[in-house]
Amino acid sequence: MLRLSVLVLAIALLAGCAETPRLGGAAGLTVIDASQMPPPTTADLTMFDRPYLVGPFDRLTIDVFGVEELSQRDVQVDASGRISFPLAGTIEVAGKAPSEIEKLLREGLAAHYIRDPQVTVNLKETISQVVTVEGEVKKPGLYPVVGRMTLLRAVAVAEGTTEFSKLNQVVIFRTVKGQQLAALYSLKQIRLGAYGDPEVYANDVVVVGDSHARRTFKDLIQVLPLLTTPLIVGLDRFTR
Q: Which amino acid is at 60?
A: L
Return d(Cα 208, Cα 169) in angstroms, integer.
7
Sorted by sequence, the CB contacts under 8 Å of residue 64 that are 6+ apart come out as 70, 71, 105, 109, 114, 117, 118, 119
pLDDT tens over the chain, length 240 residues? 545 454 444 444 444 445 556 666 767 777 767 567 677 677 765 666 677 889 999 999 999 998 889 999 999 999 999 999 999 999 999 999 999 999 999 999 998 878 899 999 999 998 888 999 999 999 999 998 878 899 999 999 999 999 889 999 999 999 888 788 889 999 999 999 988 899 999 889 999 998 766 666 565 556 555 554 454 444 445 445
Residue from 206, 238, 229, 232 nearest 220 by CA: 232
Sorted by sequence, the CB contacts under 8 Å of residue 148 that are 6+ apart come out as 48, 49, 50, 199
Class of 129-213 in CATH: alpha beta
Stated pTM of the model: 0.67
Return d(Cα 54, Cα 75) in angstroms, integer.
12
Residues carrying CATH 3.10.560.10, the chain: 129-213
Sorted by sequence, the CB contacts under 8 Å of residue 157 that are 6+ apart come out as 133, 143
State whether the Cα torsion 96-97-99-102 is positive or negative. positive
Question: Under CATH, what is the fold of the domain 59-125?
Answer: wza like fold (3.30.1950)
Residues carrying CATH 3.30.1950.10, the chain: 59-125
